[in-house]
């Protein structure tokens, strides 16, 4: 049961979504403007399936041309960074997709309705917020914008189920369910670091042992990437106007210094010292 999927963005989330799709038999075209990003993504995908062999997995293609990949796409999933002008530019290009193509954004904070406007007010634009790592985490938020049709919503739910996910359907309000809650928790933990309430390890331990969280909020921020977390907060602050989402100075300073979390070797934790 092969289906043609285009994933736009070869970073962490795009790569994870591609793995999930390949594992369930999709033919996937991964699109990115940078050849080196595509090379790294292809290597990571190969490493994953070397560790987890799957003879019936789908075929992966890579390209730097979005327009050239749309002709046969049955679904397009945008998974570029949380930067509104970038996502808007992608959805403007998606006007060229065939009429039956489902157009999906993996945004965790941005307005699906606004992205649909960038795509000419299309009723086939819907949100599917995956979680990192996208090929392992079971939840997907299906986000219904003001123009999203019932058909697009139902197709997104069915797609999530085919990918082995457990979907919930949410309205297109700032942060949906998970980012609205999760960003508050992470931001308060960062402010506690600023106020020297406790160190990062003890704050995380409090949430793991006291509330049963599998991972503390600062560990999670480091895993997601502090640059991504900063983009998320800026988007939420801009959309909601709520000061609770204003990025803490400690986060801004870490990102400015190039300390982006686990992927750079240092964030709220020093991973180089641990190795």
Query: Buried b vs exposed e over 65-75: b needs ≥16 C-beta within 10 Å?
Result: ebeebbeebbb
| 8 in the same domain as 83 | yes
| 67 in the same domain as 48 | yes
Domain termination site, one of 171, 206, 223 = 171
| 17 in the same domain as 153 | yes
CATH number at residue 103: 3.40.50.720
Domain termination site, one of 142, 171, 200 = 171
Across residues 34-57, what is the average pLDDT? Answer: 95
User: Do the beta carbons of residue 92 and residue 108 sit within 8 Å?
Assistant: no
| 30 in the same domain as 136 | yes
Does 272 map to a domain?
Answer: no
Domain termination site, one of 111, 145, 171 = 171
- Domain that includes residue 88, residue range: 4-171
Number of domains in the chain: 2
| 214 in the same domain as 152 | no
| 197 in the same domain as 139 | no
Q: CA-CA distance, 168 to 109, in Å (whole number)?
A: 16
pLDDT the model gives residue 275: 65
Dump pLDDT digits (tens) for 205-246. 999 999 999 999 999 999 999 999 999 999 999 999 999 999
Does 275 map to a domain?
Answer: no
- Single pTM value for the model: 0.90
Across residues 179-189, what is the average pLDDT? Answer: 96
Sheet strands side by side (includes 166-171): 60-63, 27-31, 4-8, 75-78, 102-105, 125-129, 139-144, 166-171
pLDDT the model gives residue 84: 92
Q: How far is CA 155 from the centre of its chain?
A: 19
**% of the chain with per-residue pLDDT over 70:** 99
| 158 in the same domain as 116 | yes
């Amino acid at each position: 049961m092969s289906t043609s999927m285009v994933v736009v963005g070869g970073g962490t989330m795009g790569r994870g979504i591609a793995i999930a799709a390949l594992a369930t038999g999709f033919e996937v075209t991964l699109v990115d403007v940078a050849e080196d990003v595509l090379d790294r993504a292809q290597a990571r995908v190969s490493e994953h399936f070397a560790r987890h062999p799957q003879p019936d997995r789908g075929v992966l293609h890579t390209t730097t041309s979005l327009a050239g990949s749309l002709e046969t796409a049955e679904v397009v999933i945008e998974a570029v960074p949380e930067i509104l002008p970038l996502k808007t530019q992608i959805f403007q290009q998606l006007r060229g997709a065939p009429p039956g193509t489902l157009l999906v954004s993996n945004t965790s904070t941005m307005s699906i309705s606004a992205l649909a406007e960038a795509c000419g007010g299309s009723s086939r634009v819907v949100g599917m917020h995956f979680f990192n790592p996208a090929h392992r985490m079971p939840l997907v938020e299906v986000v219904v914008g003001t123009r999203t049709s019932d058909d697009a919503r139902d197709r997104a739910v069915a797609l999530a189920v085919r990918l082995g996910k457990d979907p919930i359907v949410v309205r297109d309000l700032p942060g949906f369910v998970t980012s609205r809650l999760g960003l508050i928790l992470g931001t308060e933990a960062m402010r506690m670091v600023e106020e020297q309430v406790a160190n990062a390890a003890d704050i995380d331990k409090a949430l793991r042992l006291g509330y049963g969280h599998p991972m503390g909020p600062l560990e999670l921020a480091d895993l997601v990437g502090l640059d991504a977390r900063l983009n998320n907060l800026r988007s939420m602050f801009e959309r909601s106007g709520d000061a609770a989402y204003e990025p803490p100075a400690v986060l801004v300073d870490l990102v400015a210094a190039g300390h982006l979390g686990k992927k750079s070797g240092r964030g709220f934790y020093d991973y180089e010292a641990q190795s």
